[in-house]
Amino acid sequence: MPSRAQGKSSVLAMLRALRTTDATYRSGRILGSMGTAPLPIAEAAHKIFLNANLGDPGHVPGAAQLEASYNRMLLDLAGAAAGKGVGQVTSGGSEANILALAWMRVRSGARDVIVPRTGHFSFEKAAKFLGLRLRIAETDEAHRVLPASVKGLIGPETAGIVAVAGTTQVGSVDPIAEIAELARDHDLPLHVDAAFGGYVLPFLRPRQPFGFDIPGVETVAMDTHKMAMGTIGAGALLMRDQRELDELAVETPYLSTPRQRGILGTRSAGPVAAAVAAWEELGRRGYERVVKECLANTARVVAALGKAGIRPLVPPSLNIVAVPHPDPLRLQGGLAAEGWRVNVLTRLRAIRLVLMPHVTRRILESFLPAFAAAHRATAEVPHVVASQA
């Protein structure tokens, strides 16, 4: 880094040059990530509120008002009744999951949390940071948690249960109503991680409940930098009532408001404004169209792979396709050499394709033949490797 002051144009040129080395969503070349290009209106909104600090909302009542709209928007999507529920804005799904487990710990004093084997690694972070023990519940062949396994893990030290609405690896949706009933029977809170599914499930017909319209669901994690097409850095932990949320509060004696609840202190209103703006512009109908298209593209992938003799690991419930492969890193490398970026599910020996809004049908039509060819070329483990093993 130069120690001398640089002119604005040379600084910007340096940054742009760095940026050209990044893969971008807009190029359509990223097919394995849950991120996507923000809507132009989201980008513009983000810029307007970039440095408004929601950690000290008394100074920024405009931003605070947006935050209230953001929470309302997510609560409505998560099935809360009109005017019911509260939200704590977070930096994304991980922070919301960590807060949810913190709340279970604080309210119960107990240390065990039952999490499906398919749970996101943010639950492992929560356990590490908070001194909790994860009790791992088994899943069926479709990667949905088994209620009997959850039931068998409930004990005197259980603080709560987690279910996932849209798993990170294959997009499966746990049987939330059944798990919620178990939770109710044992007087335990159920947290639903809808970081991904929260912006897909509400737009399906018929609508698939995953949140507060299921009795027993106490908290829901959602975020707006995945399928919502907002900018990176916002999500929320949603809860049923203010008293529950206040169990996470600490005093902030010198700020413009007396208490704070999330993990972060200073946080930008930018991504909050971005998500509200995206919602205002698209509306429910707009998101329904986007989701319909993503699911149609998912079906297109399954059909094209089927013709090439390739079957997904599980039939997709959302817009994620996991494709088994004996050496997924090799396949990933082969595709990367041609400019396509896919993710490897190391624990499942598979490649993950996520049909996000930036992955258009045109992109798919050039990607799919490349994928099928690379799959064929790398699927056979070379003899020399096999004989050395």
**Would you tell me which residues interact with ligand 0PR (CB under 6 A)?**
33-35, 92-94, 97, 120, 122, 164, 166, 168, 193, 195-196, 223, 235
Q: In the chain, how many H helices and how many E strands?
A: 12, 12
**Angle at alpha carbon of residue 309, lines to 306 and 315, rounded to 5°:** 45
Output the smallest distance, CB 221 to ligand 0PR, in A.
7
Neighbours of 134 (CB within 10 A): 17
| Sequence-ordered alpha helix ranges (H) in 308-327 | none
Q: Which is nearer to ligand 0PR, 77 or 164 (CB)?
A: 164
Please identify, using beta-carbon distances, which residue of 143 and 375 lies nearer to ligand 0PR.
143
Rounded least distance, CB 256 to ligand 0PR, Å: 28
Q: How far is the CB of 167 from ligand 0PR (least distance, A)?
A: 6
Which of 66, 222 has the CB closer to ligand 0PR?
222
Q: For 96, what's the count of Cα atoms within 13 Å in the CB-facing half-sphere? A: 30
Which of residues 55 and 93 has its CB atom nearest to ligand 0PR in the complex?
Answer: 93
φ and ψ of 167, to 5 deg: -75, 150
Complex with ligand 0PR: residue 150 or 344, whichever CB lies closer: 344
Least gap, CB of 90 to ligand 0PR (angstroms) = 8
**Residue 343: strand pairing partners:** 352
Is residue 196 within 8 A of residue 169, CB to CB? The reply is no
In terms of CB distance, is 60 or 225 closer to ligand 0PR? 225
- In the three-class reduction of DSSP (H, G, I as helix; E, B as strand; rest coil), residue 239 is classed as strand
Smallest separation, CB 129 to ligand 0PR (Å): 14
User: How many whole angstroms from its chain centre is CA 209?
Assistant: 17
Q: Taking the complex as a whole, how short is the minimal distance between the CB of residue 351 and ligand 0PR, in angstroms?
A: 13
d(CA 137, CA 114): 7
